[in-house]
Amino acid sequence: MTDTKLLEGIRIVDMTSVIFGPYATQTLADCGADVIKVEPPTGDQFRSAGKPANNRGMGACHMTLNRGKRSIALDLKDEDDRAVMRDLLATADVFIHNVRAKAVARLGFDYETVREIAPDIVYVHCTGFGSDGPYSPLQAYDDVIQAASGMTSMLPRADDNPAPRFVPAAIADKVSGLHAAYAVLAAIIHQIRTGKGQFVEVPMFESFTHFSLEEHLYGATFDPPVESIVYKRQAEPTRQPFPTADGHVAIVPYTDADWGKLFTVLGEPDFVDNEPYDTPLGRFRNQPGMFTRIAELTPAKTSVEWTELLNEVRIPCMPCRDVADIFEDPHLKATGFFKRREHPSEGGYIEMQPPVRFGVRPDPELGPAPLLDQHGDEIREELARSKAVRRVS
């Protein structure tokens, strides 16, 4: 075990806002990078998302997305603050932002200009759409990307309600944020190996479409297509949580051998001996009928009873819980996933631990989310010292 943080010594100047970019940089901050969040004097607009009426501007989403970062407020329309930004970039390994290309160029922080300040910098642009396509000038938010990628057509395929619907989560933002995080890490490795920086573009539309179609390209993977697009198993209307005596459970008979074990536990061991379920191909092609029968049998026991019985024979099964009850999950309690901490200004709050564990630092130090410009003076003093050292050398 070592006291050195995984990304110690890596400075990331973060001029992103809302979820996409901040989720990427929060992941990197969790790994020990020095992430400096550059905000306008009014702050990241997402600071107020989920904000209680009685706190100091630390909205719930800001608390989770910006922990461990340092904040400096700069008005980049002001030349003095632009000079501070240039000094900051001169000390950075990575500059990441989600400002439109033309707007950031007007401010004087496009890639070519920043490369003159820091020739080896990794410059990451989090954008809505790839710069070489017709959508490139358009604004992009999670709902727009879910619509454009076809995600809003997935639920209608699964429940026969034809109305397009959003997945009730900022899924496109967060998936794209993870793409941005690995893009930063790959470019840093390249920088370390070659001494060269580069421009990296992370488009949200392409990132989320790539994520969505990994399985759902399905029959359209081949040219000509061998079957329709969308992976049938995922969109099967009968593949839903099964009702129990007191709730619902998710049961996953994933391999062919699981079907016989499942129906044995359900009390109908002969079910898969009857046509059309008596062959592997018959079971594969007729899963809706099996799912329908499972749903007729599961109300005989409680969710806990089915979970215990099925996991004993290695059939994956878990109760369906309400998200509000997640704090009571025994596994997450045992692993310490949720921790109650005290914020210097906001008081008590719940902090989720990073899901990935590294052997050299199994319990990383996670700093709280910063107040707006909390570290402005501190960062300016660091830059002054850095400039003095450069002048001497």
What CATH code is carried by the domain that includes residue 32?
Answer: 3.40.50.10540
Q: Which residues make Cβ contacts (< 8 Å) with residue 257, sequence separation at least 6?
A: none
Q: Which residues make Cβ contacts (< 8 Å) with residue 318, sequence separation at least 6?
A: 249, 250, 307
CA 45-76-386 angle, to 5 degrees, is 110
Residue 217 falls within a domain, yes or no? no
Q: Which two tokens stand for residue 328?
A: 């009571």
3-state secondary structure 311-353: HHCCCCEEECCCHHHHHHCHHHHHHCCEEEEEECCCEEEEEEC
Can you give the pLDDT at residue 1? 47
CATH number of the domain that 291 lies in?
3.30.1540.10
Q: Which residues make Cβ contacts (< 8 Å) with residue 189, sequence separation at least 6?
A: none
359 and 314, same domain (yes or no): no
CA 339 to chain centre: 20
- Write down the H helix ranges in the chain: 20-30, 60-65, 79-90, 101-107, 111-117, 142-149, 154-159, 171-194, 204-216, 232-235, 256-265, 280-285, 287-297, 303-312, 330-335, 376-392
Can you give the pLDDT at residue 19? 96
Residue 235 falls within a domain, yes or no? no
As for how many domains the chain has, the answer is 2
Strands 338-343 and 347-352: antiparallel
Please give the residue range of the domain that contains residue 252: 242-319
Q: What is the pLDDT along the chain (393 residues), one digit of tens a residue?
A: 457 889 999 999 999 999 999 999 999 999 999 999 999 999 998 888 766 555 566 889 999 999 999 999 999 999 999 999 999 999 999 999 999 999 999 999 999 999 999 999 999 999 999 999 999 999 999 999 999 999 999 999 999 899 999 999 999 999 999 999 999 999 999 999 999 999 999 999 999 999 999 999 999 999 999 999 999 888 889 999 999 999 999 999 989 999 999 999 999 999 999 999 999 999 989 999 999 999 999 999 999 999 999 999 999 999 999 999 999 999 999 999 999 999 998 899 999 999 999 998 888 889 999 999 999 999 999 999 988 777 666
Residue 6 falls within a domain, yes or no? no
Residue 344 falls within a domain, yes or no? no
End-to-end CA distance of the chain: 36
Among residues 169, 96, 87, the alpha carbon closest in space to that of 385 is found at: 87
144 and 277, same domain (yes or no): no
The whole-angstrom separation of Cα 32 and Cα 9 is 8
45 and 129, same domain (yes or no): yes
164 and 296, same domain (yes or no): no
Pick the last residue of a domain from 265, 300, 319: 319
115 and 263, same domain (yes or no): no
Pick the last residue of a domain from 319, 336, 362: 319
Burial of 231 (0-12, 13-18, 19+ CB in 10 A): middle
Residue 363 falls within a domain, yes or no? yes
157 and 27, same domain (yes or no): yes
Can you give the pLDDT at residue 303? 97
154 and 72, same domain (yes or no): yes
Residue 61 falls within a domain, yes or no? yes
161 and 46, same domain (yes or no): yes
147 and 283, same domain (yes or no): no
Q: Contact, 240 vs 155, CB < 8 A? A: no
Q: Which residues make Cβ contacts (< 8 Å) with residue 153, sequence separation at least 6?
A: 164
Can you give the pLDDT at residue 386? 86
Q: Contact, 341 vs 351, CB < 8 A? A: yes
- Distances in Å between the alpha carbon of 246 and those of 41, 264, 304, 315, 321? 52, 22, 9, 20, 11
Residue 276 CB neighbour total at 10 angstroms: 11
The whole-angstrom separation of Cα 60 and Cα 38 is 19
Pick the last residue of a domain from 292, 319, 346: 319
20 and 131, same domain (yes or no): yes
Helix (H) or strand (E) holding 4: none
How big is the chain, counted in residues?
393
- Distances in Å between the alpha carbon of 242 and those of 232, 300, 308? 19, 11, 15
The whole-angstrom separation of Cα 111 and Cα 89 is 11
Q: Quickly list DSSP for 82-105.
A: HHHHHHHHHT-SEEEE-S-HHHHH
295 and 163, same domain (yes or no): no
Summarize pLDDT for 272-303 with one digit per residue, the tens.
999 999 999 999 899 999 999 999 999 999 99
Residue 114 falls within a domain, yes or no? yes
Q: Contact, 359 vs 365, CB < 8 A? A: no
25 and 104, same domain (yes or no): yes
The whole-angstrom separation of Cα 47 and Cα 63 is 8
Residue 3 falls within a domain, yes or no? no
The whole-angstrom separation of Cα 236 and Cα 126 is 35
